[in-house]
């Protein structure tokens, strides 16, 4: 699993603006910002995904959730990679249009087939662009809230 964290505390102007917002407004700003970065990564993963049937690319999605400590996180997920809200992998048929479980075999390889990674190269190619997009969207969302 690729794990990247954006920490806005280092940007004094942005962190000061976030302190002015209420909890709900702060969550909305962070949700918008993290989704903006994750969306850029999703598009890159989709463009690099193997195109045999197109099922893999159709199952690359952005998921946003709240952490235990109240923080917001967004990430790129491939449906069928594990249990999600309301369903488990054991109940999902392999023939389902929403189950691209085989992505990991292509990304990591198996004992019989070599790895053909597409997720990690997509992450490496877009991490700076996605970070910049998240900062831009956070500033824009803060301006929208403060202009009310």
What CA–CA distance (Å, rounded) separates 13 from 139? 9
Q: What are phi and psi of 147, to 5 degrees?
A: -85, -5
pTM, two decimal places:
0.77
| Tokens representing residue 83 in the block | 């249990």
The residue with greater pLDDT, 14 or 58, is 58
pLDDT of residue 102: 87
Give the pLDDT band of residue 101 (cuts 50, 70, 90).
confident
What are the backbone dihedrals phi and psi of residue 77, each rounded to the nearest 5 degrees, phi first?
-125, 150
How far is the CA of 12 from the CAs of 8, 74, 96, in angstroms? 8, 23, 47
pLDDT tens digits, one per residue of 106-120: 999 999 999 999 999
pLDDT digits (tens, 9 = 90+) for 40-55: 999 999 999 998 888 9
Burial 79-103 (b: 16+ CB within 10 A, else e): bbeeeeeeeeeeebeeeeeebbbeb
34 pLDDT more than 60: yes
What is the per-residue pLDDT for 22? 75
Output the pLDDT for position 89. 47
The answer, yes or no, to whether residue 2 has pLDDT greater than 80, is no
């Amino acid at each position: 699993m690729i794990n990247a964290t954006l920490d806005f505390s280092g940007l004094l102007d942005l962190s000061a603006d976030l302190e002015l917002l209420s909890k709900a407004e702060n969550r909305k700003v962070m949700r918008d910002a993290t989704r903006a970065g994750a969306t850029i990564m999703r598009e890159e993963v989709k463009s690099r995904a193997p195109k045999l049937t197109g099922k893999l690319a159709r199952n690359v999605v952005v998921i946003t959730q709240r952490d235990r400590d109240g923080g917001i996180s967004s990430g790129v997920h491939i449906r069928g990679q594990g249990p999600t809200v309301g369903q488990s992998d054991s109940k999902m048929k392999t023939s389902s249009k929403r189950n691209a479980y085989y992505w990991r075999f292509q990304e990591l390889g198996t004992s019989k087939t070599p790895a053909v990674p597409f997720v990690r190269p997509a992450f490496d190619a877009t991490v700076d662009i996605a970070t910049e997009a998240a900062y831009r969207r956070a500033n824009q969302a803060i301006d929208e809230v403060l202009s009310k």
